[in-house]
Homo-oligomer: A and B are copies of this chain.
Amino acid sequence: MTSPVEEDEVLERIRGMVGNGIEAFGLRDDAAVLDLPSGGPLVASVDSVVEGLHFELALCSPADVGWKALMGALSDLAAMGATPFAALVALCVPDGSGEGELALEVMAGVAEASVAAGCPVVGGDVSGSAVLMVAVTVLGTVDPSAGPAVSRTGARPDDQVLLTGPCGGSAAGLRALRSGTGSGQAYRRPLARLREGRIARLSGAHAMIDISDGLALDLHRLADASRVGFRLDEVPAAEGATLDEALGGGEDYELLIALSGSSATTLIDHFEREGLRVPACIGTVVSDPELRLLGDGPLERLGWQHRLG
């Protein structure tokens, strides 16, 4: 049980939690003032997670929710090859008892992820709500001397399709949590592949996307945006994950990378030098946009897409 506290007091405690030495007076003022860390363009994205839709508090802690909200947003920067420098967090906590504490617990997870990813939280907003909701905006930049941000749109015929890690771990983790047979680490504490995305950009990646809604759906999206097709040879499944989970589970935050064979060699060398897991080549890009194959059959658009009635 906690006593009611004013919003200003909660914000003051959050400031202490995410204070990180950045030269911004954002958390104390109306807005944050920041210097761009490079002469390159600004890369910005927003992502939100909602109780009952993206998570249930019976299966993960408020800190897990905060961690996932920031990592999920950062994954969009990873997919552009961008390096994050700031995040802003809009937090809505359910009315009733204990929401001041709940806000602080969520922000503790945000702060942990912020440290892990090297991305300070520079602004925020706390409101009441019917359900817990966290919307995170992340700001990054790319070093302009090493090529532009990587889009979804640039995949070319004969490109190789690399995947930074096996998929389905998040869905399998959620299943394990539901059945009480595991800790669901991959579900509760995913990692944005920021170093991997940056190296892919430096290696000359033509197109990238992160696996947020499922390998199959996100690969289709990359192919749609690039007006190409693909032949998928294999689907690396995470330990304990089914093929359906690997294809359609989502929230794995691995990166799909389309690039030439010679760039793939450069990339793999660079990953090895940095001690990162070597990505698997799981298929190739083809020019016919209608051709979307897994082995010999069509690949369905499996994956998580919210239906708006």
Is A137 touching B88 in the complex (CB atoms < 8 A)? yes
Please report the C-alpha to C-alpha distance between residue A88 and residue B90 in the assembled complex, in whole angstroms. Answer: 12
One of A76-84, A233-241, A280-288 at the interface: A76-84
Partner of A46, one of B49, B79, B88, B131: B88
Is A147's CB within 8 Å of the partner chain B? no
Is A31 touching B76 in the complex (CB atoms < 8 A)? yes
Closest residue on chain B to residue A42 by CB atoms:
B34
Is A46 touching B103 in the complex (CB atoms < 8 A)? no
Min Cβ gap A149→B in Å is 5
> 1/0 contact trace for A89-106 toward B, CB 8 Å?
110110111111001000
Interface size on A, residues (CB 8 A): 82
Partner of A33, one of B36, B43, B209: B43
On whether A123 and B46 interact (CB within 8 A), knowing A6-B305, A100-B308, the answer reads yes
Partner of A92, one of B25, B50, B80, B128: B50
Partner of A103, one of B28, B130, B308: B308
Told that A31-B76, A100-B309 touch, could you supply 17 new A-B pairs with CB distance under 8 A?
Answer: A2-B309, A4-B307, A5-B308, A7-B306, A8-B305, A30-B75, A30-B209, A31-B44, A33-B43, A35-B41, A48-B127, A52-B130, A90-B90, A126-B308, A130-B131, A131-B131, A139-B139
